[in-house]
Structure 1
């Protein structure tokens, strides 16, 4: 439908748009570092703001402008409907009301809502719903209210680089809030945004490999992937080679490997050996905020190349493809461990078992192991699935882990364990890592624990774990060392916070809260996450850092927590490549002056 729903819904808004008044404040057109004059003047809680253009504002593009954009992007511009809209009689959106009920589609979305891949294939869904305002979830009551919440207003399903360029140029020229979305695989709400236009890059699925990449800074085997390629697709392609090869990815198979993952760093089961995914990137093809296609590598746009490697997702450019180093795959072994309430009803004994387990974090990473574990949410539960020994026989892996089992036996702790050997790491990856679920609502935080913290302050760390649990949160842990196998001479070649090189455990903390909870309940949950849950971890592990893709974006001193001594350089690069603030993702370099005012809706600069 090249005109269809865009034209119908936009026309419903025209009278309201034309009745709105343009701001006359000179301050709006003189915001430092910004050129667009389509700002909207707002006052919020006693402060004056210059805001991006949103539906209903005088500067919101007219119907003919949207139609022109739609033609430019090959008819791939659409008005956005929330995933659950087919379950409701009508969708009441900012551009008008649409009849949406479809029993078959409702059944499909209800069944698929908890499935990550189902949500990924939707054009604008966020896999976790808190930052959507938890609006319009699948329901059995079609008479309920379905509104847009904080989902985007319109989206472009980009099929070509030119489509991405057109979307960026349109957003920049009209001062619209722009969201770049691939898989929606983020905890911080970066894939959604009230009043925004989305460019969806998930259709960029190209994969190619070579044994002889010959480019700046690297000669050797490599894989080049389009923006939409996911971990399971890249790994399957590499496994099909003879001999099979591997690359660094996240532990979750559905995550995209050429977008927010690498721009945030990208940790996973191979981090002990090769560092972050960002450390293995050798070249990017991107589109910058001026709409131009750029190559970034060690010689060309080298500052941008450095920033794209861990400097912050959706902050510097839109990635269209990335080339990464690849590595030989090897036989690997894994062990699972479970401590559960049925065999451990004594909380004191349980926490002593957790203390013993976690005290081995330095031992595990120094021996090249990767450990994925969960504490809670059921009390007295420790779920370790898996302990991974890459390029290890089962006997070698068991020898490293056996001291832990001996300690648990000496304590009298009940546990269950299983183990397996695999012909390749790829086989282990598919067999031992558990499938993650989508569609839940929660606030996510996290912190990392430095080697010296474990050595000097371990009792306080376990006390902090108990504080986290007592505050109604739970922990997902990842034991790895990004400085273990990567030569120190390589550490500064990416924008990763230098403190990460001495980390031995990376934690995610999760505080369940509904996205449509009352504002007071949301504020309480955010305070609990920032100041009690994560606050206790920061105090116990002062040598740690925070990982931008899995953290609390509202924590104090986030610039230092996410990037440490690299922050000022990143800020300069951001101002160079995006001086007008075309791109926005919460708590990334240069966003200090931006706020989401009016209960997290309008994106504005404080005057």
Structure 2
């Protein structure tokens, strides 16, 4: 090569590193279009058989889950498929199903063409290499809880990690290549659910790991999204607790990512969104000392008039700001359209008497005013923290709080909170969220917050999830969360406001899904419009608020800013480094600007 040409080529290298993702279609190795069944490039039967051999017989051809219902609703296979929907664990055990059945006018749950039932990292490597070499759409699923429909895609190859669910406790973990001091930790397979983690770490180990509130959510997906639990106000995010991960990248390499090894990959995994830069096969998370008690407070109040309801909202927010805005308290308060307020909050590090004493001034205020009536009486419950996720304990001492997986052969520790069990397979009409800045809790901001909340409830229910905003958390946990890829808005938010609604399961092929489809769609669109109006009122108080990637609007326009804020450019660089040709696609995930909505056709 001539010296001039060499210098020109060298000069181009830094520019390439900053090239927009959408401009990489001309790069060597980039694929313009992924193949579907029936296309000339679709793998042959012999090729699929080779993959079958590489994964030791763990390749499945997936069929529509409710295909049997087309012939007869009374067919045993149809009845068995419908019975699955009563149990979130059973849904998760089906590679062709997702925990959410769809979103009106957005997406519906469709099985992949094939699934690799991964049990080892080698299985994941084989699937990634096969998808890359044959230009396939690749999907990764662990828990399958994505509201956005990213846990499945028709005509794709699925890497299904649910069988990779081991849990190993460490008294003194040190990340590979690190000189940091040893610390207690837990290593979890990518397919483990949070009930598996809590059983190992808390019920049996007597410690705490920051994870998810819903027990059937997958560990890997939650960490990559950021990750909140009931007690995030005390322990920060799951992403901030990540110490190390094993990841299969687009080139089929198995990489260890931690603060010292592949640090940008490590950072991208901490809240950068699941499935965008690689397939996580295992994660190691720090564990914490367990407080003596975890507990909860429940009650519901009805206001006699709009004026009384506005005053109730004002009193509640003032009380929260003065008394509950601290690490001991989490979870949510709901403000409803019928002038009722329901409280479902949790606490840690307090006993029952301390929790009751904290609420005593607010309850006294209510009881002095005849315009308020208890729809559900005040109840505080404290229990040993070690038993908080122990299904057997709840069966004996507090039946009804948790629902056990009663299927023959199911692990004894598998249980889900009763409220979460009711959402099995739900179909979304609308779902929006916004980080609410802590400045609205200041004396000069509360009036604006109260007005916005009241106006919102004229359209739809508003839930304030206090555990999903880190303002008020310990300084060390806020600092740890700052070193993640999440939108920095979370650091200064006192809560995540969620406004959402949906119906029961409506998977394609279900008999119920075919009945009154037009009327159902019209009703759903009206509900979605009301949800939009409610969020519009709330955003008048927080016009620049970001949104949580796992709980957000499918139709959001400025998703890069909303999900990641100023961190998006750094995430895009990590994407270019570890997946330059876009093998990993998640709609509204990092780098998805380069692809069509379904991830099959590259733009430009």
**Under a length normalisation based on structure 2, what TM-score does the superposition of the two structures give?**
0.81
Distance 1:497 1:376 in 2: 26
1:133-152 mapped onto 2 (5 Å cutoff): 150-152=110-112
Partners of 2:296 and 2:382 within 8 A in 1 = no
- Residues 545-566 of structure 1: CA distance to partner in whole angstroms, max 9, x if unpaired? 2111111143232211111111
CA distance in structure 1 between the partners assigned to 2:208 and 2:75 by the alignment: 43
Which consecutive residues of structure 1, in runs of 5 or more, have no partner in the other structure? 1-27, 40-50, 91-100, 136-147
- Aligned 8 A contact 1:361 1:504 in 2: no
Deviation at 1:357, TM superposition (A): 2.3
Q: In 2, are the aligned partners of 1:239 and 1:245 still within 8 Å (CA)?
A: yes
1:353 aligns with 2:312: yes
1:282 equivalent among 226, 235, 243: 243
State the Cα deviation string for residues 36-80 of structure 1 (Å, max 9, x = none). 45x4xxxxxxxxxxx322223232222222222222222222222
Aligned to 2:157: 197
Does residue 205 of structure 2 align to residue 256 of structure 1?
Answer: no
SS in 1 for 2:362: helix
Aligned to 1:532: 533
Match of residue 342 from structure 2: 383
- Is 2:444 the partner of 1:482? no
> What whole-Å deviation, never above 9, does each CA across 1:138-162 have from its counterpart, x for those lacking one?
xxxxxxxxxx963322211112211
Structure 2 residue 115 is the aligned partner of structure 1 residue 155? yes
Which of residues 113, 127, 132 is equivalent to 2:85?
A: 113
Find the aligned partners of 1:558 and 1:331 in 2 and give their Cα distance: 41
Decide whether the 8 Å contact of 1:446 with 1:552 is kept in 2. Answer: yes
The answer to whether the 8 A contact 2:586-2:599 is kept is: no
Q: Does 1:502 align with 2:465?
A: no
Equivalent of residue 99 in structure 2, options 109, 127, 139: 127
Of the structure 1 ranges 449-458 and 477-486, higher mean CA displacement relative to structure 2 is found in: 477-486
Residue 23 (structure 1) aligns with = none
Q: Does 1:31 align with 2:20?
A: no
Structure 1 residue 171 corresponds to structure 2 residue 121: no
Alignment of 1:218-367 (within 5 A): 219-241=182-204, 244-257=206-219, 259-339=220-300, 344=303, 346-363=305-322, 366-367=325-326
Is the CA contact (8 Å cut-off) linking 2:337 and 2:459 kept in structure 1?
no
2:203, 2:389 within 8 Å by CA — same for their partners in 1? no
Kept after mapping to 2: 8 A contact 1:334/1:389? yes
| Residues in 1 aligned to 2:141 and 2:483: alpha-carbon distance in whole angstroms | 27
C-alpha separation in 1, matches of 2:594 and 2:527: 21
Indicate the structure whose relative CO is greater, using CA pairs within 8 Å and at least 6 residues apart.
2
The CA deviation at 1:333 is 4.7
Is the Cα–Cα contact under 8 Å of residues 171 and 185 in structure 2 kept in the other structure?
yes
Could you tell me how far 1:326 is from its partner in structure 2?
A: 0.6
- Aligned pairs, number: 537
Deviates more, 1:169-178 or 1:509-518: 509-518
Q: Is the 8 A contact 2:233 2:326 kept in 1?
A: no
Match of 1:60 among 36, 42, 49: 42
Q: In the alignment, which residue of structure 2 is the partner of 1:42?
A: none
Contact 1:365 1:480 in 2 (8 A): no
Once the two structures are superposed, what CA deviation does each residue of 1:436-464 show, in whole Å capped at 9, x if it has no partner?
A: 12121113221121101233443443444
- Aligned: 1:452 with 2:439: yes
Matches within 5 A, 1:411-430: 411-412=369-370, 413-415=372-374, 416-424=377-385, 426-427=387-388
Q: Deviations over 1:396-443 (max 9, x none)?
A: 222332332233334432221111221225427865654412121113
Deviation sequence 1:68-117 (CA, Å, 0-9, x none): 22222222222222333343329xxxxxxxxxx88444333323303211
Instruction: State the SS of the aligned residue for 1:305.
Output: helix
Over 3 Å counting, the alpha-carbon distance change for 1:376 and 1:88 in structure 2 is: farther
SS of 1:225's partner is strand
User: Structure 1 length as normaliser, TM-score?
Assistant: 0.80
**Secondary structure at the residue paired with 1:545?**
coil
Q: How large is the RMSD of aligned CA atoms in angstroms? A: 3.2
Deviation, structure 1 residue 501: 1.1
1:476 deviates by 6.3
